[in-house]
Every structure is written in structure tokens, then in C-alpha cells.
Amino acid sequence: MSDAATLAFADLQPEDILATLDDLGLRCDGRFLALNSYENRVYQIGIDEGPPIVTKFYRPRRWSDDAILEEHAFAQSLDEQEIPVVPPLEHEGATLHHAGHHRLAVYPCHGGRAPDLDNLELLRQLGRLVARIHLEGETSRFRHRPGIDIDSYGTESLEYLLENDFIAEDIRAAYESVAELVLDGVEASYERAGDVREIRLHGDFHPGNVLVREDQLHIVDLDDCRHGPAVQDLWMFLSGDRDEQTPQLQALLEGYTAFRLFDARELHLIEALRSLRIMHYAAWLARRRDDPAFRIAFPWFDSHRYWEEHVLALREQVALMQEAPLEWRDY
């Protein structure tokens, strides 16, 4: 993508969005709501004849057209299996549209609330849905999307933060030291897990990407779908201490194993994947520091306190990766 595309994305205005949708034959009624998304620009738009729609304008340079189309194809294949994901709508046979420097997709709008992670029956339902996603995910491979691995999530994040001098000088040595310990711990966790299978995943499956409405669940935002171990789509629904996480894991896997086998060796990867996500998140914020939306949403980023807490979180992960994995009673 060109610099012009980056500038156009940063300066995206409501009139641009409405004019683009009008060109696609979607007559907007003036209702316009920016949704909680920082990587892309996502809006709920009212339509004259029909229910509201959601439109996503993709951030330039992040994914190629081929990678975006793989995301769309994956969502469509899941929808064909009657898995409650939200695939993009087609217009004239296409799901990815170009308007000037912009790339966008249009989705049906589904409302709902975040899931209650204390509801074990809901976790079993989520486990069943994840297993069904993975049954489809293991039928083929992505060609244009990367995996979740130590290099891209861990090593590259560490190098980016150090090379661009984000970290205060009095914290830098502590950060570099603990980050290296984290990467060592991640490698040791992968060695304990052995040769686990990597499949196509949702990739960013957390409570914010699940909508609950009465008894119906909808899974949204496959923007980060990648290859990785199956447990990647499960661990972000575990919260609290070990005693709290154990029954949550049990419920998730009771649902999961009703449809697909689960390799218990992957439990060694839970804290390793959490550690990589913490490192990747800090570098992600740093890479987006020049986006005005990020400055508003994350004003605390790059503060001295932020980096102190980040180093503390990494130290905790080093200790957690040295503990035994969560227990699962496989029936």
C-alpha cells in the first residue's frame, strides 16, 4: 500500500464511508456508529430498506488482498457448516471491495453481550463451537497467512521495541533481561509439548469476539485468523487463578471433545502463548503509535509506569511457565 493509502485511512470521514456504501447499492439512512476496533475502522450503518450493516475498512499494509480473501473464504466455509460466525456479504460476486485507496468489506449486524465466563454451560457451548471451527480448519492450509510462533510474536516484538528506543533507559536492561527469560521459557514450553499439530484458527478468540443474545452465540472478527495449536482458541477464556481456571478448562474441553480430539500436550503451551501475546501486544501498540486513534485510546502507552508494569507481567509469566500445566480430567 502507498503512503497515500495510509493518509486516506487516517483521514477517513463519515461522508467517505457513506458515499462508498452508496456506490455498492446500500442506501444509508444517516445512522452511523463507530465500533470498538483499533486495527481497522469498523462502523455500524443504518440502511433505508433492511437491518443495519457493519462495514470494515482495512488498515493499509497489514494484510494483502489474498490474505483478506482467505479470511473471507474461511468465514464462508464455517458458515456453510452452520457454525455461527459472521461472514462478509457478497456484492456482485465479491466480498472485498476497493474504493480509491480504501479496501472494505460489509457484514450483517448482530448484537449481543459478552459471555459470562462463570457460566460453565456457556463455556461448554463455546468449546463445542471451537471444535467445529477446528474440524473445518484442519481440512486445508492458509497460503497467504502466517502462524502464531515465537519469532513473529516474541523475537520480532522484542527487537522492534529495543531498536526504536521505546523503553526508558532505566528500565531497558530489566526489560531486555526478562524478555530473554520469557523467550527461553516459551521455547522450553514448546519442547515439553512436543510436535503439536498446527491448524487454521480464529487466532484472536477472546470474550470480546463472542456475542451472546439469549441462547444464541455469534463469533465475530476473524481478521487475525492464522495457523497455530488448537489451544490458542481456548486459553483466552480462562481467567483468575489456577483454582478458578481448572473448572473453566474442564468445561471448555468437555464441549470441545464432544466433536474433536484434544491433544493434552498443548496444555503446556497456555502460559507460553499468553507470554507471546503480552509481548506482541506491547509491540503492536508501539507500531501504531502514530495513529491518532491510538493516542486517544491508549494515552498511557509509553509511560514509565506502563513499562514497569509490563516488565512485572513478564516476570510473572516466567514463573508461571515453570509451573506444571493446568490439569484436565479426560473422560
Q: Which residues are catalytic?
A: 204, 221
Reading the block at residue 256, the C-alpha cell is: 470441545
Using alpha carbons, select from 194, 192, 278, 195 the residue that is nearest to residue 235: 278
Enumerate helices (H) and strands (E) in the chain, giving the number of each: 11, 9
Reading the block at residue 101, the C-alpha cell is: 485507496
As a 3-state breakdown, the chain gives helix, strand, coil percent values, each rounded to 5, of 50, 15, 35
Q: How far is CA 294 from CA 221, 224, 299, 301, 309, in A?
A: 19, 19, 8, 9, 19
Reading the block at residue 284, the C-alpha cell is: 503492536
Reading the block at residue 56, the C-alpha cell is: 470494515
Using alpha carbons, select from 137, 143, 25, 32 the residue that is nearest to residue 92: 25
Strand pairing class (53-57; 216-219): unpaired
Distance in angstroms (rounded) separating the CA atoms of residues 223 and 273: 18
Reading the block at residue 65, the C-alpha cell is: 488482498
Stretch (H or E) spanning 91:
none
235 burial level (CB within 10 Å; 0-12, 13-18, 19+): buried
Using alpha carbons, select from 24, 218, 237, 272 the residue that is nearest to residue 124: 237
Strand pairing class (97-99; 210-213): unpaired
CA–centroid distance for 195 within its chain: 24
Q: Any idea which residue has 506491547 for its cell?
A: 282
